[in-house]
Amino acid sequence: MRHLSVALSVLLGAAPTSLGFHVQRALFYSARTVSTRSPRNMSEEEDSAQTDLQATDEASQVNGASLVLQNDSRASLASAFSNLSENDQYDAVLTGLCAKILDDTSEEKAISSLQDPVSLIVEMNGRNVKASGRSLMALIDATVKTQDARAMTNTLSLCLKNGGMTQYGSFQNTITSMPSVATSLVMCPDGSRKSRQERLASLPQVPFDDRGSEVTAALAFTSLVGFSFVTNVLGMDEISGFTNLLLTATIVVAVVDNFYGVIKGGAELATRNKVDMNLPEKEDLPLNLGSGAITGTVVRGLTRLMNVDTERECECEAAAFFAAYSLGLPCFAFRPNALEAAVLVGESMKTNQEETELSSKLDPLLSDVGIMKMLIWLMAPVAMESSKHAQLIVSDPREAAGFLKRLQQRAELFGDEDALWWMEEEQEQKDLLKWAYAEADYLLRSNKETVTELTERLAGGAATVGDCVAVMEDW
């Protein structure tokens, strides 16, 4: 129990052993006062010195009493600690060390500060002492503060050896990677065997997202309406006529875009047998008028600008966390992005990774299975949001495509182009994204209850990574 004793001393700190310095300083001050006094003020200074000595004696008594009380309290603490079981002792110290890191340690010093709790969990594994869920939650939260994937891998590995975690990476063997040959047979989630081509034909398309155009259209519309309103209110007659004309044209376009079919049918009915009026079909109108596309773009853009849906955000974050944890990825970003995914793949392919007590080697992710896991992680928020909403606002399917693009740009640095067989053809990349989207959707639908519980935990506003792990492990 060497590490337990050392860790406990770190928590308690060193007790003061002597108060002699303060007493000596007070006596020295009194002696100096006596030696520098003048004969004329002898009696007054003697009285003052006597008063100082009395005050020093009283202070010494008070400090001595406080030292006795402090020693008594430490003795009581030690007695209470010794009455705990071995498991509870380890749990108490491990939780305290991690709490100290979370409260007092900066991110720069977090890795070195993990030395004590990591040494303690190693000792617990060696002595077959199982940690409680509470102490493992604290250890994971302390490791998250390092922002280091290798440190997180090491901590999760130690937690798995301890026996307190069973769900980390539990679904990585259930996913199906897309084969490079179109005629290869794969086992589908429904139990049937299909070729890659047949399965792709039955999968849903990845949701389309054009948020750039939508936001631009919404900003242009609101600017036009706002500027027209200001010119009329301020009486700017020189330009108000022009702005009113633009506003009227905008309203006409909106009416035609949404009600062209009604307008065409009403015009034909009103002029029947009187005037030969042949209005063009909707397909023949410029700018795709009559289909509702223009006004739809504006409405979707306004929705993006004004809509704030906390529950939707928590759903997407819960989906991303569930995918990363269940697939064994040592990254718990609630908002995954292409850059972070590419960096993680790059770190996993480094040949000079050194294992230390605080960090472990990452499993190589530049493979068919590894890339599929990363894509599922990036697509999980998209699959969650699209299953409940018609428009994507929080999630972004372009992150997965951006991840593939970053891998393609750095193919020579990775030195394993066989795993990037899909980068030569754009259609192969689209098929890979479609496959990953379907895998993410199936993973989330199959574990709907857990994802819902994660969403509720995140919606509380104070959930940490450790809290989410507790939901996954049912602590």
If you average pLDDT over residues 326-345, what whole number do you get?
89
If you average pLDDT over residues 360-386, what whole number do you get?
92
Tell me what percent of the residues of the chain surpass a pLDDT of 70: 78
Confidence of residue 437 (pLDDT cuts 50, 70, 90): very high
308 vs 356 pLDDT, higher one: 308
If you average pLDDT over residues 439-448, what whole number do you get?
95
3-state helix, strand, coil in the chain (%, to 5): 70, 0, 30
Q: Is 194 helix (H, G, I), strand (E, B) or coil?
A: strand
pLDDT given at position 8: 58
The tens digit of pLDDT for each residue in 67-97 reads: 444 555 567 767 777 778 888 888 889 999 9
pLDDT given at position 322: 96
Tell me what percent of the residues of the chain surpass a pLDDT of 90: 36
Give the position of tokens 């699959």.
383
- 8 Å CB contact between 179 and 199: no
pLDDT given at position 305: 84
pLDDT given at position 10: 54
Asked if pLDDT for residue 266 goes beyond 80, the answer is no
If you average pLDDT over residues 30-39, what whole number do you get?
37
Residue type, 440: A
In degrees, rounded to 5, the angle at the alpha carbon of residue 23 between the alpha carbons of residues 18 and 24 is 100
Tell me the CA end-to-end span of the chain in Å, nearest whole number: 26
Confidence of residue 422 (pLDDT cuts 50, 70, 90): confident
If you average pLDDT over residues 19-23, what whole number do you get?
34
Confidence of residue 171 (pLDDT cuts 50, 70, 90): very high
pLDDT given at position 73: 59
Distance from the Cα of residue 381 to its chain's centroid: 12
pLDDT given at position 473: 93
Asked if pLDDT for residue 27 goes beyond 50, the answer is no
463 torsion bin: left (phi>0), alpha (psi -120 to 50), beta (else): beta
Produce one character per residue of 257-280: b if its CB has 16 or more CB atoms within 10 Å, e if not: bbebeeebeeeeeeeeeeeeeeee
Among 47-61, 73-87, 281-295, 439-453, the minimum mean pLDDT is found in 47-61
* Paired tokens of 226: 């706002």
pLDDT given at position 26: 32
Asked if pLDDT for residue 365 goes beyond 70, the answer is yes
311 torsion bin: left (phi>0), alpha (psi -120 to 50), beta (else): alpha
If you average pLDDT over residues 234-247, what whole number do you get?
81
Asked if pLDDT for residue 34 goes beyond 60, the answer is no
Asked if pLDDT for residue 66 goes beyond 60, the answer is no
Confidence of residue 370 (pLDDT cuts 50, 70, 90): very high
If you average pLDDT over residues 416-442, what whole number do you get?
89
Confidence of residue 384 (pLDDT cuts 50, 70, 90): very high
- 8 Å CB contact between 169 and 361: no
Confidence of residue 4 (pLDDT cuts 50, 70, 90): low
pLDDT given at position 75: 73
H-only helix segments in 389-425:
398-409, 411-414
pLDDT given at position 37: 38
323 vs 76 pLDDT, higher one: 323
If you average pLDDT over residues 13-17, what whole number do you get?
41
